C-alpha cells in the first residue's frame, strides 16, 4: 500500500466526519502549489497560506507581458467521494474565480471549469454538480471533450483570470466532496 493511501486511511479513521472534506491545517497546506502566469512570462504574484484554520489565496493579478492568471492547486485523493455535489466555503473580494478539476480523460493543460462569483467580505457556500463544468484550455472552450465524472478527479484548483489587474484575496474554509490525501 503506498504512503498516500496509508495516510488517507489514518485521516479517515481519526475523524470519519471529515473523510470527504478538505479542511485547512498545517498538514493540508503542504499539498497546495501556487502556479501563476510567470510560467509563461507574465508578472502576476500570489501566495497561499493558513490563517486561523482558513486557506488564504491572495496576491496581485497583472496583465503585463501577456499575463493574467494566478492559481493554486492540489492533487485529490485516489479514494474520491462525492454524492454528486462538490461544495466550497469561501469568502471573497467580489471577483469571479474558477474551480478547476483535472482527470486523466483530458490532455495536459485542459481542465473542467466552473466559474463562481464572490461577494465581497461575505462567506458563501457554493455547490457544484458535474453539469456545472465545461472543458477549457487556456481560457478557450473545448467542444467534444468527455463529460466530467467526479470519480476520476485527480487534481483541483482555484484560478483567477478575470482580466482585471489588481490585488485579490480569496479565503477558503473548506472543500467538501474531496477526500484529503
The phi and psi torsions of 152 (rounded to 5 degrees) equal -105, 5
Write down how long the chain is: 181
Cell 495536459 found at: 108
Q: Which domains does the chain have, with CATH numbers?
A: 3-176 (2.60.120.430)
Q: Whole-prediction pTM value?
A: 0.85
Per-residue confidence (pLDDT) for residue 7, from 0 to 100: 32
**Alpha helices, DSSP H, located in the chain:** 3-14, 26-29
Query: DSSP states of 1-27 as a string?
Result: --HHHHHHHHHHHH-GGGTTEEE-SHH
Which residue, 87, 81, 82, is CA-closest to 99? 87
- Using one digit for the tens of pLDDT, what is the confidence trace for 65-84? 989 999 999 987 655 556 67
Q: What are the distances in angstroms from CA 126 to CA 4, 13, 169?
A: 28, 27, 17
- Using one digit for the tens of pLDDT, what is the confidence trace for 3-49? 333 333 233 323 333 457 888 888 888 999 999 999 888 999 999 99
Per-residue confidence (pLDDT) for residue 82, from 0 to 100: 61
Per-residue confidence (pLDDT) for residue 64, from 0 to 100: 95
Alpha-carbon torsion (3, 8, 13, 15), positive or negative? positive
C-alpha cell at 78: 485516489
Q: Who contacts 15 (Cβ-Cβ below 8 Å, separation ≥6)? A: none
- Using one digit for the tens of pLDDT, what is the confidence trace for 142-178? 999 999 988 888 899 999 999 999 999 999 999 988 6
Q: Who contacts 92 (Cβ-Cβ below 8 Å, separation ≥6)? A: 118, 119, 120, 122, 124, 169, 170, 171
* Ramachandran assignment for 76, one of left (phi > 0), alpha (psi -120 to 50 degrees), beta (any other): beta
β-pair partners for 105: none
Per-residue confidence (pLDDT) for residue 83, from 0 to 100: 65
Q: What are the helix and strand counts (H, E) for the chain? A: 2, 13
- Using one digit for the tens of pLDDT, what is the confidence trace for 108-145? 889 999 999 999 999 999 999 999 999 999 889 999 99
Amino acid at each position: 500500500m503506498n504512503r498516500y493511501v496509508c495516510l488517507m486511511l489514518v485521516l479517515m479513521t481519526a475523524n470519519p466526519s471529515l473523510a470527504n472534506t478538505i479542511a485547512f491545517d498545517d498538514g493540508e497546506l503542504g499539498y497546495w502549489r501556487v502556479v501563476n502566469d510567470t510560467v509563461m512570462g507574465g508578472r502576476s504574484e500570489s501566495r497561499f497560506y493558513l490563517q486561523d484554520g482558513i486557506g488564504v489565496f491572495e496576491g496581485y493579478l497583472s496583465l503585463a507581458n501577456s499575463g493574467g492568471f494566478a492559481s493554486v492547486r492540489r492533487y485529490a485523493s485516489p479514494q474520491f467521494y462525492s454524492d454528486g455535489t462538490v461544495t466550497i466555503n469561501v469568502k471573497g473580494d467580489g471577483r469571479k474565480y474558477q474551480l478547476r478539476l483535472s482527470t486523466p480523460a483530458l490532455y495536459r493543460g485542459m481542465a473542467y471549469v466552473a466559474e463562481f462569483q464572490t461577494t465581497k467580505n461575505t462567506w458563501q457556500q457554493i455547490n457544484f454538480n458535474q453539469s456545472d463544468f465545461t472543458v477549457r484550455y487556456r481560457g478557450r472552450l473545448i467542444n467534444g471533450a468527455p463529460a466530467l465524472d467526479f470519480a476520476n478527479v485527480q487534481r483541483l484548483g482555484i484560478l483567477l483570470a478575470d482580466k482585471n489587474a489588481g490585488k485579490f484575496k480569496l479565503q477558503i474554509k473548506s472543500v467538501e466532496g474531496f477526500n484529503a490525501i
